[in-house]
Structure 1
Amino acid sequence: MKKSVLAYPLLASMALVSVPAWGQGPDINDDIENIAADGLSPEIIVTGLPASLGDKAYNATEISMDSSQTVENSLRDVPGLQQFRRSDARSANPTSQGVTLRGLGGNASSRALLILDGVPQADPFGGWVAWPGYDALALANARITRGGGSVADGQGAISGTIELFSDNVGDLIELGAAYGSRNSVDADLLFGRELGQGQLTISANYARGDGFIPIIEGQRGTVDRPAEYEQAGLAVRFVAPLSDNVELQSNVRAFTDDRERGFAFSENHNDGADASIRLVDRNSDWQWSALAYVQIRNFDVSFGGVADDRNSVSRVFEQFNVPSTGLGARIEVRPPVGDNVELRIGGDWRRTEGTTNENFFFADNDTPRRSRRAGGSTSIYGGFVEASLQASDALVLTGGGRVDFWSIDDGFRKEIELINPFPGSVRTDEIFTRRNDTEFTGRGGFAFDVSDELTLRGAAYLGWRLPTLNELFRPFRVGADATAANELLEPERVKGAELGLDWESGLVTLGITAFYNQLDNAVANVTLANGPGVFPGVGFVSASGTYSQRQNLDAIKSKGIEIDAAFDLGELVDGLSVRAAYAYVDAEVDGSGDAAAVDGFRPAQVPRHNASGSIRWEKDNGTGASLSARYVGQQYEDDVNFLSLADAFTLDGRMALAVNDRLLVETRVENLLDARVEAAISSNGIIERAFPRTFWVGLRAKIE
């Protein structure tokens, strides 16, 4: 079990702080205080090269991972960080779980760049995130950098970067098991062994539950039933020195994820496997890292059409096979250029390819009338340079840029009749022209220490994101609503600026940031017409449905403020800490042409207000208690701001008792007040909720 979650504004050139397992070593806050007393910021490195000197100029928050929560729910404690839907990976459709920041939403593809030990994590085909695949990992920390234009990490960081870092667990065997409401089971294993000078870590997880009925009470019909889920993962990591300076890091992981959406013909299945190898030299004058990786995904999903009275359902669509692959490599060098200067030079390559195989227009629940294959590939080659200067004892300046060459290749879409009157006839057979171009990314900033306690920082940036294969080539349906693909989508481009203050005095840290972002060519699902009718790219839409197409909006403009605060009250009560954070986002669509109807509206699924807070008490042996609160403001389901999702306030709690050095008993509750967290609303007013109140009781044992 990791130490409790604490959010810190990124102070000085703070690197990640490794958090020990329960009962191991001194408290993390003692480490920070001892280092600070020596006049240094923490430099405890987990993976990769040290944090850059220039990071001080950007708005970043660091959290230690909490084993009592899933990875995605731990990240929800960072206000302004959201997925397209409020529901989590136990009940959401996997294709709705893209992650973004600062209100730059609009569809389910990720607009924040998620990285695990340097490897991009978005699904190669769709850009969403398979969150259950991370619960099996031994993770130490996450660093969330708000704001786009990440020069070293590559394209995709439109709204920010989320970095996950693996832990170094030493010699340890740790087992955990918990039983919860609705016959839910969570189990995990962590095995660490030092082999010579190397470290082997094996981690695994398993989760299942009978689930809850997503449709709210009072709107349910005979078709509605609990949404079952079953998920598992396995990860192996080996780290070993190859010389006095060079370290080898190898990672392999695999996961499987089965969910149902709460009625017949709504099942989905997601499998994945990743492998990466990295060489890191962080000890010589010429620091460098080299990384290569592969992602393999396969996905299938079925959709059912539910009658208005919710007493009957029929299969209307299925993606029965969606294989995709991501390949990539990256290199970075930091040459010695002076005591007060840091220079980063590097390049990267990423290729994605994938195909969707679909059946639709079912004559009955087992006999599709048509099939579709669609897909393609993308390639991106880029190079970057970033320099940071300690201009004086109080002032840090940083700036950099990168150039990327991109191409969209092999795009196609083919539809075939499967049954009479013309079985086997080709209805559509499109081959899309190859497209390519060059994009520029840049950012610069400063950090000025006004005093020992107060730092003023500012930054400006440009960034971009290439549309996913899913956005370019695959039409889709949700209930009666249909959305056409658009192979002519242009890359999204962001420009933004921010100004912030970081204050640290004794046991209190506070970060405040004001920002403005403009996302040009924002990809969104634009509503074009209401059914009934036959529409290009999707065919027939019934009277209860709408017809949309993915289009580039003129822009999404987003401005707001972010506040992070942490209080270490250990001098009052040993192990006591308080955290609070808030984000206000005022986002607006700038649309013309087909999108003129949404001009001035708020982007879909973007709340104005988002807040979280927690109070935690924890002893070194693991005994402790915590109470966490989250608030998410009202948001709209659709681009025309007609369907509204109510705001929601939730409380989570946990209590743990260390029986001895090897055994811990814990109880926890999710959504203590059983608040109705509205996750979706259909065009006919049917409301889907996120997870209800759930109680857990469990044991955790370790052997060292």
Structure 2
Amino acid sequence: MKKSVLAYPLLVSMASVAVPARGQEQVGNDEGQIVIADRRLPEIVVTGLPVTRGDSVYNATEIEMDSSQTVENALRDVPGLQQFRRSDARSANPTSQGVTLRGLGGNASSRALLMLDGVPQADPFGGWVAWPGYDALALSNARITRGGGSVADGQGAIAGTIELFSDNVGDRIELGAAYGSRNGVDADLLFGRELGQGQLTISANYARGDGFIPIIEGQRGSVDRPAEYEQAGLAVRFVAPLSDNVELQSNVRAFTDDRERGFAFSENHNDGADASIRLVDRTSDWQWSALAYLQIRNFDVSFGGVADDRNSVSRVFEQFNVPSTGLGARFEVRPPVGDNVELRIGGDWRRTEGTTNENFFYLDDDTPQRSRSAGGSTATYGGFVEASLQASDTLVLTGGGRIDFWSIDNGFRKEIELINPFPGSVRTDEMFANRSDTEFTGRGGFAFAATKKLSLRGAAYLGWRLPTLNELFRPFRVGSDATAANELLEPERVKGAELGLDWESGVVKFGITAFYNQLDNAIANVTLGNGPGVFPGVGFVAADGSYSQRQNLDAIESRGIEIDAEFDLGELADGLSVRAAYAFIDAEVDGSGDAAAVDGFRPAQVPRHNASGSIRWETANGSGASLSARYVGQQYEDDVNILSLADAFTIDGRMALAVTDRLLVETRVENLLDARVEAAVNSNGIIERAFPRTFWVGLRAKIE
């Protein structure tokens, strides 16, 4: 099994070739991988170009993927990293699973840029993440860089960057299967074969379960039932050298995701397929990479209105077909400019397009009165330059900037009557004006090795994010509450700064960072009224529902402290380690106009306190045990800070026994204390919870 780590010397591992960043010392290890001896850089397994000296300036955390956890739940161990909802991909609505950092939440679209082997992963229509599409078994590690303004990675990284890296599995077959509470099944397969100098990897994952009843006990009615789920994914990756210097990386990935929200007319379905191809040259004097990718997505979702006594439910809204595509390309070159200087020059392009098709105003569960279509397209084109300087033996300086051109095109919204008195008549047919502009992104900073154990760092940055097609054009409902889209939204812009220190001895690694972020034009769901009534963009809202619209707030200000620590206790017992981390976030809204009522309030879904810790013991043959804990502080469901979600403390555990060198028996428990993790609350006080206590027992077999 893989262990979670925070920071080690830089580890660079590629399928066929591996080289250090210029100016760093190359050292071998027992596995034949390349270790770069630079204490200030965190460990990272990369599949593209090596990280640069400049990366030591920014607050980065590295965790290894563990097959006993899903990718999204492994990332939850990083304090300050959160999704819009506390629930995971087994019970949450997939459209609420955007990921963010540093308290810049309040919106279900991602404000942190998630990438897999250099390819952006956010849904091209909505900006959320389809977590069931990832198999942790096929991934080596993740690198989380807190703080926005990533020059090389493009728009979207206003809260930070999350990079996932595929594993180099060699000749290996691994199969795991587990059975859990409520008829849960988790299974995964990894097949790796070295073909000449190339590497073929095939991975597959499957999960299903009868689910649990999301509404807490004591508030349930006859309509409430377990929220079942079924999910599957398949990925194929082939890596091969084209010459002594150039490597080809090709990836194809597909997934399907079916969930229910725990009552009739709450089902949702999400499908997707990705493909990418990348060429990388890491060994020439002129290092370079070129990437092209395609994303295809489609989802449908139904919304039911539940009566106050929760004994009846009726269909109120259905998005029956929401197709979208994303296209992109990226190029980077690193010319040789001296042993003490690293220079990055490149550019990228991304285009998204999508349409939502909806039925609403239902006379009965099968008869909608109206139909609506809405959508459009967005595009960004950008170029960047970034340089890192080894100014002295103890000082690294870095800085860079990029300029982007963006456009929002072909926006439309059309509503049609479906029944008498005028079936087929057009009620609304709007074409929105195309818009375009330019944005500047920049960042810079320093890293100073004060002593052999202590280093100081600081950084400042600017970043931006273009509104998603979902925010611009798609209305949505959560229970009786309705939120309208807004085609006039402006891009979000962040400016921030941070100071930190890192201390490392042979046993302890410790890091602390203080930060300040100001997110201007923050897109949030602003409450404008309450039902009953008919409201623009959403239609009828019941008496127990609220009406909101996506709007640009003046700003969200977020300041806080992040602490990471790890203790290597191998002297007490081989393979024993302890990790602890904490984030304090003080965030508030600066609002005026329609948003004046939320001025000074905390952004929705942002807790002040977030902490995690774990103790792990693992032997060379895979046997071991671990215990991990997470704490999430109180947060608010709504922008006016009335609906509160209580704090939550959860404990997970795992025990594994290697029966033979090839067979492992494993038991796991999630939420050992069966804590009530509140994930949502509506205006009637009805509370929805995340996953309860869940036990798993399984086998894992490996052939090498």
Identify the TM-score tier after normalising by the shorter chain.
Answer: over 0.9
Aligned to 1:6: 5
Deviation at 1:405, TM superposition (A): 0.1
**Residue 188 (1) aligns with residue 157 (2):** no
For 2:126, the aligned partner's letter is G
Deviation at 1:527, TM superposition (A): 0.4
Contact 1:18/1:44 (<8 A) preserved: no
Deviation at 1:478, TM superposition (A): 1.6
**Residue 282 (1) aligns with residue 273 (2):** no
Aligned to 1:23: none
Q: 5 Å matches for 1:39-438?
A: 45-135=45-135, 138-438=138-438
Q: 5 Å matches for 1:469-508?
A: 469-508=469-508
Distance in 1 separating the partners of 2:614 and 2:39:
29
Contact 2:114/2:163 (<8 A) preserved: yes
- C-alpha offsets along residues 515-571 of structure 1, whole Å, 9 cap, x if unaligned? 000000000000011122222222222221111110000000000000011111112
2:387 is paired with a residue whose SS is strand
Per mean C-alpha deviation after superposition, the further-off stretch among 584-593 and 532-541 is: 532-541
Distance in 1 separating the partners of 2:36 and 2:509:
13
Contact 1:46/1:168 (<8 A) preserved: no
- Give the TM-score normalised by structure 1: 0.96
Aligned to 2:517: 517
Cα gap change, 1:43/1:363 in structure 2, threshold over 3 Å: closer, same or farther? closer
Distance in 1 separating the partners of 2:483 and 2:191:
46
Cα gap change, 1:45/1:676 in structure 2, threshold over 3 Å: closer, same or farther? closer
Distance in 2 separating the partners of 1:593 and 1:116:
40
Cα gap change, 1:330/1:421 in structure 2, threshold over 3 Å: closer, same or farther? same
Distance in 1 separating the partners of 2:117 and 2:680:
33
| Identical-pair percentage | 88
Contact 2:135/2:203 (<8 A) preserved: no
1:316 is paired with a residue whose SS is strand
Distance in 2 separating the partners of 1:529 and 1:17:
55
For 2:82, the aligned partner's letter is Q
Deviation at 1:477, TM superposition (A): 1.7
Distance in 1 separating the partners of 2:111 and 2:163:
14
Deviation at 1:39, TM superposition (A): 7.7
Contact 2:40/2:56 (<8 A) preserved: no
Structure 2 gaps of 5+ residues are: 16-27
Contact 2:231/2:256 (<8 A) preserved: yes
1:269 is paired with a residue whose SS is strand
Deviation at 1:46, TM superposition (A): 3.3
Aligned to 1:25: none
For 1:387, the aligned partner's letter is A
Cα gap change, 1:42/1:438 in structure 2, threshold over 3 Å: closer, same or farther? closer
Deviation at 1:5, TM superposition (A): 1.5
Distance in 1 separating the partners of 2:637 and 2:44:
43
Cα gap change, 1:577/1:358 in structure 2, threshold over 3 Å: closer, same or farther? same
Q: 5 Å matches for 1:552-701?
A: 552-701=552-701
1:661 is paired with a residue whose SS is coil
**Residue 441 (1) aligns with residue 441 (2):** yes
Deviation at 1:484, TM superposition (A): 1.2
Deviation at 1:53, TM superposition (A): 1.2
Cα gap change, 1:136/1:509 in structure 2, threshold over 3 Å: closer, same or farther? closer
Contact 1:359/1:370 (<8 A) preserved: yes
Distance in 2 separating the partners of 1:35 and 1:374:
51
Deviation at 1:695, TM superposition (A): 0.2
Contact 1:667/1:697 (<8 A) preserved: yes
2:182 is paired with a residue whose SS is coil
Contact 1:137/1:166 (<8 A) preserved: no
- Give the TM-score normalised by structure 2: 0.96
Distance in 2 separating the partners of 1:244 and 1:165:
23
Deviation at 1:221, TM superposition (A): 0.3
Distance in 1 separating the partners of 2:534 and 2:356:
23
Distance in 1 separating the partners of 2:241 and 2:83:
38
Distance in 1 separating the partners of 2:44 and 2:529:
56
Deviation at 1:136, TM superposition (A): 6.6
Q: For the aligned residues, what is the CA RMSD?
A: 1.8
Contact 1:18/1:140 (<8 A) preserved: no
Deviation beyond 4 Å, 4+ runs, structure 1? 15-19, 28-45
Deviation at 1:137, TM superposition (A): 6.0
Per mean C-alpha deviation after superposition, the further-off stretch among 468-477 and 151-160 is: 468-477
Contact 1:251/1:275 (<8 A) preserved: yes
Distance in 2 separating the partners of 1:628 and 1:42:
22
